[in-house]
Structure 1
């Protein structure tokens, strides 16, 4: 993601568990 040039880029990120396993996720928010 650090190589993408997006004007006003925002990143939505989070974490949680799925079936007891820790997971992380992220997505670029183009609406920012």
Structure 2
């Protein structure tokens, strides 16, 4: 179970990084 949670967490982090990298950092930061 811990391994599944760890894998899910890594996937979430990777997806977040991909979204941030795909969108210009300047506009993304100003949007939030």
TM-score range relative to shorter protein: under 0.3
Report the structure, 1 or 2, having the larger helix content.
2
TM-score by length of 2: 0.17
Report the structure, 1 or 2, having the larger strand content.
1
